[in-house]
Structure 1
Amino acid sequence: MKKIWMITLWMACACGLSATEKPVMSRAEIEAGLKSHDRALYIKGGWIRDPYIILGPDDYFYLTGTTGNPNDPLEVADVYNTGLGKQSLVGYHMRLWRSRDLISWEDLGEPFNLLDGYWAKQQPEAFTGDRSRWHLWAPEVHYLNGKWHILHTTGGPIRHGSNLAVTQGDKIEGPFSFPLGELSKGLHDPSLFRDDDGTVYLLWRNTYIVPLNDEMTKFTAKPMRIDPSGSRMGPDGKAISVIGHEGATMHKIGDKYVHFGTAWSTDRRRKGSYNLYYCTADKISGPYGPRRFVGRFLGHGTPFQTRDGKWWCTAFFNANVPPLSREGIETRDLSKTAQTINPQGTTIVPLEVKIQSDGDIYIRARDPAYATPGPDEAQKNFEVMKEIL
């Protein structure tokens, strides 16, 4: 298998393609898929994890995510680098692209990196020497009150150096301010959510949540956990009552607060498929209903809407082996190791989002290869089973 993969890699390079740049779908295919909203679309190549897409105030879609440093040769030499361990490809820059149509992407460079952040200014001695293990993970960009807000988590020797960086105006560029200051320390996968009344909430660590003051300089309440109701049996025989372990985001759909979170299908690290789940509540503080399945292979994806109101979710390669064929994937047990059907790069998957007659929210991937929990799915409660049946 390894020999075949190396031959494939050599052929890709010989044909003038970056090994990370497997040919994406054609413009015609993507345009048709955006209209039909019924199948996954491979829209951009390049090594990326945790792809994040948002429609900005200037009517551009912005894309960022966990990436390697610009021109890192490892991106070509190690196509399916997991981003983990000593050989991680994850760099310390936030790379950024924008597009009018989700097809043609303009490279905006690296408008932020760890040296621009709060902690590099507060602890400069920690930001010297070898940068090979400086890791900027899961960046997000949010447009609030006429400014862009950049959040990310970190790994490696500066793992507590997460940032909330705010631009001076409506362009994603420095100089930056850091309103949270010391409060930004150690936030794993931070995200922001603005409620209908204008209150901005900070989410992190799947999932704590806290409201911020108008200046975003302090918490206005004590951080609290928001977890789904009920539980499922964990691998160690103990009940699990959390939505997942990372990638928490929040949306308001109808009158419901929809809390998204990520977990492996087996509830074992890097075993099975990397999936997205959700739960809903009438109040942002809860109580939340049971955890429900959104889609297989959608872990740490970003639910977002296109201009026509359709919902999509980003997806990416997160596995220990090269991507699997879609054929028969719905019934295939993936519990042996981390596996996916996503190619390296950014894929978007259509979501069915319904406000039901009782006001509850139903969310499920529309592409059949993503819509069905596999036999390795750990959650077997009634909420999942009634949707499968």
Structure 2
Amino acid sequence: MDPDTIRASLQSHDRALYIKSGWIRHPYITLGPDGYYYLTGIQPNEGDPREVENPYNIGLGDQSIVGNQVRVYRSQDLIEWESLGVPFSIDDTLSAKKAGKSPSRIWAPEIHWMPKVEQLSEVNRIPGVDQMSGYWALVHCPQNVASLAISNDSELARPWSHPMGSKLGQRHDPSLFTDDDGTVYLLWRNTMIAPLSKDFTHYTSEPVRIDPSGTRPGPNGSPITHIGHEGATMIKVGRKYVHLGTAWSTDQIRKGSYNLYYCVADNITGPYGPRKFAGRFLGHGTPFQTKDGKWWCSAFFNANVPPLPREGIETSDLGDNAQTINEQGVTIVPLDVRVLEDGEIYIRAKDPAYATPGPDEAQKF
């Protein structure tokens, strides 16, 4: 989209915006301490010609163009993007440091700003890290090379330390959530959750599984209890914990639309309420707030065929294949995030093409 359209629509907060081209999956957007929005995600390695030659590569199987680098961009306005290069790669993982260079790909990277800590006992300090100025934490998968890496200072750059070492464990789709009291939690595998020590050297309690209440019928007749199968993350709205997860609309892998769902609890470990629908085509997106407080969610191309037109998509049954309206690149979709009069949390995409569960949706909302 042209800059003027994006700029106006960021204010009106009523339509999806295509803000950046280029091959990417699971785009993660966060607002840094310097007023920049930072963007990363699954990408090919820098300079890989297949990014242009094969724009609708699905990123899976032997033909995948997913690389082993974490590429990062920043922007003051979500319009003009500056590349920060490759601040992290497979060579920076703990597994590579122990066993030499690994050819493994890097999946689902996230970067989290860790605010400065004014008071820390010596036992809680991370060696070599300037916690008085703040620092970055980076997580990624696949689980055999998963990392929780810490930058030395406020620069999103090498060198990276791994305070947890092998105690991190094998973690699929790890994500971080920082609570109001400063406690940092790791979420993974849709969904386990555990708090981390202040120095990021260990878990401070055993992992707990969090699921929505109730069940839904699965494709094979067995009840499904989990929120989805990947892309778990968490935000806080008011005093409520909002657990978000990703699943295909049909509850069958790569059939239907790739959607975002949520459930809500008063306590971080639950119990959580029922599974609710947040948005179609928003699977493994990042809910984030712009500087003016508006909520958005990132979205991306995840399908087996090129994007479908928006027209009539609300009533289109997509259940026979993996399909989307998202173009390859980064789209952001406005979210309606509210605390209702009865105290319940309401989250729903505002753009009509994303706001309605399709006919292929397995769960009835």
C-alpha distance in 2, partners of 1:222/1:75? 41
Is residue 149 from structure 1 mapped to residue 137 from structure 2 by the alignment? yes
- Whether the 8 Å CA contact 1:255–1:359 is kept in 2: the answer is no
User: What residue identity is the alignment partner of 2:21?
Assistant: G
Instruction: After TM superposition, list the pairs within 5 Å mapping 1:252-267 onto structure 2.
Output: 252-267=236-251
Match of 2:261 among 253, 277, 281: 277
Is residue 301 from structure 1 mapped to residue 313 from structure 2 by the alignment? no
Is residue 315 from structure 1 mapped to residue 299 from structure 2 by the alignment? yes
For residues 307-326 of structure 1, the C-alpha deviation after alignment (integer angstroms, 9 at most, x for no partner) is: 11100000000000000000
Offset of residue 258 of structure 1: 0.3
C-alpha distance in 2, partners of 1:97/1:378? 37
Instruction: After TM superposition, list the pairs within 5 Å mapping 1:90-169 onto structure 2.
Output: 90-124=66-100, 127=101, 131=103, 134-144=104-114, 145=116, 146-154=134-142, 160-169=144-153
User: What residue identity is the alignment partner of 1:182?
Assistant: S
C-alpha distance in 1, partners of 2:147/2:153? 18
**2:14 counterpart SS class:** coil
Is residue 189 from structure 1 mapped to residue 173 from structure 2 by the alignment? yes
C-alpha distance in 2, partners of 1:331/1:183? 48
Offset of residue 178 of structure 1: 0.4
Is residue 51 from structure 1 mapped to residue 27 from structure 2 by the alignment? yes
C-alpha distance in 2, partners of 1:53/1:184? 24
Offset of residue 337 of structure 1: 0.3
Offset of residue 254 of structure 1: 0.5
**1:203 counterpart SS class:** strand
| TM-score, normalised by the number of residues in structure 1 | 0.88
Instruction: After TM superposition, list the pairs within 5 Å mapping 1:75-94 onto structure 2.
Output: 75-94=51-70
- Whether the 8 Å CA contact 1:254–1:359 is kept in 2: the answer is no
C-alpha distance in 2, partners of 1:100/1:81? 30
Instruction: After TM superposition, list the pairs within 5 Å mapping 1:339-358 onto structure 2.
Output: 339-358=323-342
**1:342 counterpart SS class:** coil
Q: How many residues align?
A: 347
Offset of residue 249 of structure 1: 0.6
Match of 2:194 among 210, 218, 235: 210
Q: Which residue of 1 is the match for residue 38 of structure 2?
A: 62
C-alpha distance in 1, partners of 2:196/2:95? 20
C-alpha distance in 2, partners of 1:73/1:278? 38
**1:369 counterpart SS class:** helix
Q: Which residue of 2 is the match for residue 230 of structure 1?
A: 214
Q: Which residue of 2 is the match for residue 248 of structure 1?
A: 232
**2:161 counterpart SS class:** coil
Offset of residue 255 of structure 1: 1.0
C-alpha distance in 2, partners of 1:184/1:275? 28
Provide the identity percentage. Answer: 63
Q: Which residue of 1 is the match for residue 49 of structure 2?
A: 73
Q: Which residue of 2 is the match for residue 220 of structure 1?
A: 204
Offset of residue 184 of structure 1: 2.6
C-alpha distance in 1, partners of 2:167/2:105? 20
| TM-score, normalised by the number of residues in structure 2 | 0.94
Unpaired segments of 5 or more residues in structure 1?
1-24, 385-389
For residues 230-288 of structure 1, the C-alpha deviation after alignment (integer angstroms, 9 at most, x for no partner) is: 01000000100100011111111111000000000000000000000000000001000
Offset of residue 74 of structure 1: 1.1
Mean CA deviation greater in 172-181 or 94-103 = 172-181
C-alpha distance in 1, partners of 2:239/2:340? 11
**1:160 counterpart SS class:** helix
For residues 294-315 of structure 1, the C-alpha deviation after alignment (integer angstroms, 9 at most, x for no partner) is: 0000000000000111000000
User: What residue identity is the alignment partner of 2:108?
Assistant: A
C-alpha distance in 2, partners of 1:317/1:150? 23
**1:370 counterpart SS class:** helix
Offset of residue 185 of structure 1: 3.2
C-alpha distance in 2, partners of 1:234/1:363? 24
C-alpha distance in 1, partners of 2:297/2:210? 22
Offset of residue 121 of structure 1: 1.0
C-alpha distance in 1, partners of 2:99/2:220? 40
C-alpha distance in 2, partners of 1:161/1:63? 21
